[in-house]
Amino acid sequence: MKKLLIIGSLNLDMTVNVDHMPAVGETIISDRMHLVPGGKGANQACAAGCLRADVAMLGAVGEDTYADIQMASLQKAGVDVSRIIRRQDASTGVAFITVNSEGDNSIVVVSGANATLSCEDIDTHIDLLKEADVIMFQLEIPIETVLYGAKMGKKFGKTVILDPAPVPKDFPEELYRYVDVIKPNETELQMLTGIADIEEHLPEAADWLRKKGVKHVLVTLGEKGVYLEAEGEAACRIPALQVETVDTTAAGDSFTAAFAVMLAQGKSMKESAVFANYVSALVVTRKGAQSSIPSLEEVEDFIRQTEQMK
């Protein structure tokens, strides 16, 4: 089995449900809060583990209860957490998530230990990069660490996948050269390329990224589905699945992880994206981050049920 390595963030998500997003200066009441392990890196690792991938996580947490909750969740999913760094001088990252009645969310992240993950940490654990077949990054850790890690991954001939979220103000163009697959959503693609009307100019936006050095572009478009422009394959649109949305938290992370898992199994870009589309559709029907991620058996059942209804 090929190995996946996730280099990225680990947070504890504090989620509140509200009827509507608060306006500036408005105070609203929520009747419940959920504490759920999250962070884009940890979510992707958890999803890959739930899909039975051989996956390891490299990141940083504090010496606190939040870290214990996070580690337990990843271990339950089958993720190798032995290289997660525990910092005594930093707290575990925290995300404050507000989810409205339509299932849409807004998120504020306090980076904590995530901001301490360094190029030196990559060097210390360089054996993980050498052993991995696919290496995945997001941008909730320092951008210079991502750049260095991707460069090393490419040096060792690995498949590098980048989820460019959140998009930093100064995105290093050098990073594109080390990325095999980039997976932005519609807003992130607009921020990266500067193209205003993404829906009308998806091919142009994807070509912009490929001219920068990226081999394959995979764009998630929410209810408008998925757009894929891959080297050696015809560009295609994959329609969204019709489900009742409860909470979109971790849907994008689960999509990226599922795509990587299938790619590592030798599936084509399109086959991998179609499978990932099913996984993310199932995730949005559930509440929370890692608590919403399905097992492989649940995904397979969902695919069978969906196909039978066609």
Enzyme catalytic residues: 253
Residues 6+ positions from 277 with CB-CB distance below 8 Å: 225, 226, 238, 240, 241, 255
Helix (H, G, I), strand (E, B) or coil at 102: coil
Q: Tell how strand 181-182 and strand 105-110 pair up.
A: unpaired
Place of tokens 């460019």: 164
DSSP assignment of 278-310:
HHHHHHTTS-SSGGGPPPHHHHHHHHHHHHHH-
Candidates 136, 6, 99, 135; CA nearest to 60 is 6
Is the Cβ–Cβ distance between 12 and 38 less than 8 Å? yes
Candidates 260, 278, 272, 277; CA nearest to 132 is 260
Count of residues making up the chain? 310
Q: Is the dihedral of CA 162, 284, 105, 5 positive or negative?
A: negative
How much is the CA Rg of the chain, to the nearest whole Å? 18
- Which tokens belong to 245? 């949305």
Q: Tell how strand 33-38 and strand 85-87 pair up.
A: unpaired
- Which tokens belong to 226? 């998925």
